[in-house]
Amino acid sequence: NAGVTQTPKFRILKIGQSMTLQCTQDMNHNYMYWYRQDPGMGLKLIYYSVGAGITDKGEVPNGYNVSRSTTEDFPLRLELAAPSQTSVYFCASRATRNTEAFFGQGTRLTVV
Amino acid sequence: AQRVTQPEKLLSVFKGAPVELKCNYSYSGSPELFWYVQYSRQRLQLLLRHISRESIKGFTADLNKGETSFHLKKPFAQEEDSAMYYCALSGHSNSGYALNFGKGTSLLVTP
């Protein structure tokens, strides 16, 4: 059971560089999410998607972009990386409103 | 506004002692509440959801709509319970039913 898979697990970026965090799920879930986790702050929603071709901003979208061309994949793009984007990023998916959300193992990103 | 409050950043108890992790919420409508656990450097995983009323690893949580609370309880803490615990509330359709998380409580169970 693969569930939600994120790559890479770790990455160090220089200020101004760009990268894409990959997320894929094999459970045919319509709902997918990107969160960032900062110490003492819990998880904050960056972007979400309710199905292929449909995405929308969450609480902290600035500096990020997403796409959802297929049900399985929901990549997160960072353009012009900044130190404030140093965080742990989690991708998640769920089937419906009251079902379990499954999380990826996280990507630890450091911007220097 | 939807909000989840976990008032304790850190909770330290001795092995065998009872533990209660507090969670309060604000939500317009019928809430869907969850507890997630994150062991050191691992992904978040579901511990409980109020709709199922299950007991997982000895933990229980009761939804109290009058007090808008969903506290997590365990009568006898074990060392392996040491982890980060997050209370989460399922949002409205205008956020894709995204989970709103509290800031988390770090539980430390000492021998």
**Per-residue pLDDT tens digits for B1-60:** 789 999 999 999 999 999 999 999 998 888 889 999 999 888 999 999 887 767 788 899
**Residue B43 contacts A, CB cutoff 8 Å:** yes
Lookup result for tokens 């200020």: A15
Q: What are phi and psi of B98, to 5 degrees?
A: -65, 150
Q: What is the pLDDT of residue B18?
A: 97
Chain A residues whose CB is inside 8 A of the B10 CB are: none
pLDDT-derived band at A6 (thresholds 50, 70, 90) equals very high
Positive or negative, the Cα torsion across A47, A98, A6, A40? positive
Q: What percent of chain A has pLDDT over 70?
A: 99
Q: How is residue B59 annotated by DSSP?
A: B
Kindly state the tokens that stand for A80. 């012009």
What tens digit of pLDDT does each residue of A41-87 get? 889 999 999 999 999 999 999 999 999 999 999 999 999 999 999 99
Do the Cβ atoms of A104 and B43 come within 8 Å?
Answer: yes
Going by C-beta distance under 8 Å and a sequence separation of 6 or more, which residues neighbour residue B34?
Answer: A100, A101, B46, B47, B48, B49, B50, B87, B88, B89, B90, B99
> What DSSP string runs through A53-99?
TEEEE-S--TTEEE--SSSSB--EEE-S--GGG-EEEEEEEESSTTS
CA distance B77 to chain A (A): 23
Q: Are B104 and A39 in contact (CB under 8 A)?
A: no
Residue pair B18/B77 in contact (Cβ under 8 Å)? The answer is yes
**Which residue matches tokens 């919420």?**
B25
Q: Which pLDDT does position A1 carry in this prediction?
A: 66
Which of B49, B51, B97 faces A31 most closely, judged by CB atoms? B97
* Segment among A33-37, A45-49, A68-72, A96-100 with least mean pLDDT: A96-100
- Report helix, strand or coil for B95: helix
Whether residue A43 and residue B45 make contact (CB cut-off 8 A), yes or no, is no
Q: Do the bridges between strand B10-14 and strand B105-110 make them parallel or antiparallel, or are there none, so unpaired? A: parallel
pLDDT score for B2: 85
